[in-house]
């Protein structure tokens, strides 16, 4: 699950990013609204965690802009303002949830789990292709009915490929979904994950498109 964190308080953002990464999320961070809008357009996240009080554009303005375009990207608002009027303004602007500062990390995790369940219910909690079944709610994978032990990145890689079955995903696209900005990635990291997945679900399920990327081979899956 990839999160875009939009927060201009750098110490707070660093703490949130570290905590979320420790929980298995891929987290990218920007400090301004214009940068957030650019990232949403070019590297769309799964969930937007958005501070209202940004230095250039208010979080509410960003949210209204998204909703005016019928963009239903899940948005969790963060704000130091905790009055009822502020909360109503955020929800009326199209926020999926609202979390006043200061907050406990356990509450943030719980709110994100709710948004994840909503995402799963929109798509379908289970994706089955051939002998492979991936459950997005339980975050587990079975092969021929047997549960597999996958690392977080193996699971996210397989999830992205199965959600786009039949389509070629480039190396750059997959690395964007698996790694945070600035995170050191070895040149063969993606190939290693693919190799481990193939050992667990067979060589024919994931097809290499040489020089481009990978796809789930639905014809032989």
What pLDDT band is residue 66 in, cutting at 50, 70 and 90?
very high
Q: What is the pLDDT of residues 97-129, one digit of tens each?
A: 999 988 999 999 999 988 887 776 555 568 899
Average pLDDT taken over every residue of the chain? 88
- Which tops the pLDDT comparison, 139 or 95? 95
The predicted pLDDT at position 152 comes to 85
Residue 58 gets which letter from DSSP?
Answer: -
Q: Which pLDDT belongs to residue 175?
A: 87
Identify the structural domains of the chain with CATH numbers, from first to last: 2-122 (3.40.50.2300), 126-216 (1.10.10.10)
| Average pLDDT, integer, range 9-13 | 94
CB neighbour list of residue 62: distance below 8 Å, 6 or more residues apart: 6, 33, 36, 37, 50, 54
Adjacent-strand bridge partners of 28 = 4
CA torsion sign, 132 to 114 to 28 to 94?
positive
| Percent of the chain whose predicted confidence (pLDDT) is above 90 | 54
Q: How far apart are CA 98 and CA 143, in angstroms?
A: 39
**pLDDT (tens digit, 9 = 90+) per residue, 161-218?**
998 888 899 988 898 888 877 777 777 899 999 999 999 999 899 999 998 999 997 7
Stronger pLDDT, 159 or 136, i.e. the higher one:
159
- Rounded Cα distance, 166 and 217, in Å: 6
pLDDT score of 37: 94
d(CA 167, CA 154): 18
Mean pLDDT of 125-136: 87
Report the pLDDT value the prediction gives residue 220, as an integer from 0 to 100. Answer: 52
Residue 100 CB contacts under 8 Å (≥ 6 apart), including other chains: 79, 80, 81, 82, 87
Q: Within the chain, what is the greatest distance between any pair of CA atoms?
A: 56
Q: What is the pLDDT of residue 221?
A: 47
Task: Give the integer Cα–Cα distance in Å for 200 and 157.
Answer: 14
d(CA 63, CA 101): 19
Predicted TM-score (pTM) of the model is 0.68
């Amino acid at each position: 699950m990839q999160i875009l964190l939009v927060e201009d308080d750098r110490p707070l953002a660093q703490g949130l990013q570290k905590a979320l990464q420790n929980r298995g999320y891929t987290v990218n961070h920007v400090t301004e609204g214009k940068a957030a809008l650019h990232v949403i357009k070019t590297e769309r996240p799964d969930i937007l965690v958005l501070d209202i009080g940004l230095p250039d554009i208010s979080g509410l303005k960003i949210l209204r802009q998204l909703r005016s375009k019928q963009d239903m990207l899940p948005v969790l608002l963060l704000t130091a303002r905790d009055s009822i009027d502020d909360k109503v303004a955020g929800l009326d602007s199209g926020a999926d949830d609202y979390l006043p500062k200061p907050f406990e990390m356990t509450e943030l995790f719980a709110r994100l789990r709710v948004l994840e369940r909503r995402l799963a219910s929109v798509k379908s909690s289970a994706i089955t292709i051939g002998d492979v079944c991936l459950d997005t709610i339980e975050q587990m994978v079975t092969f021929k009915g047997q549960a597999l032990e996958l690392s977080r990145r193996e699971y996210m890689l397989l999830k992205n490929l199965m959600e786009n079955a039949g389509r070629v995903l480039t190396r750059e696209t997959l690395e964007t979904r698996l790694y945070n900005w600035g995170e050191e990635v070895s040149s063969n990291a993606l190939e290693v994950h693919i190799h481990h997945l193939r050992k667990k679900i067979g060589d024919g399920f994931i097809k290499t498109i040489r020089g481009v990327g990978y796809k789930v081979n639905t014809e032989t899956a």
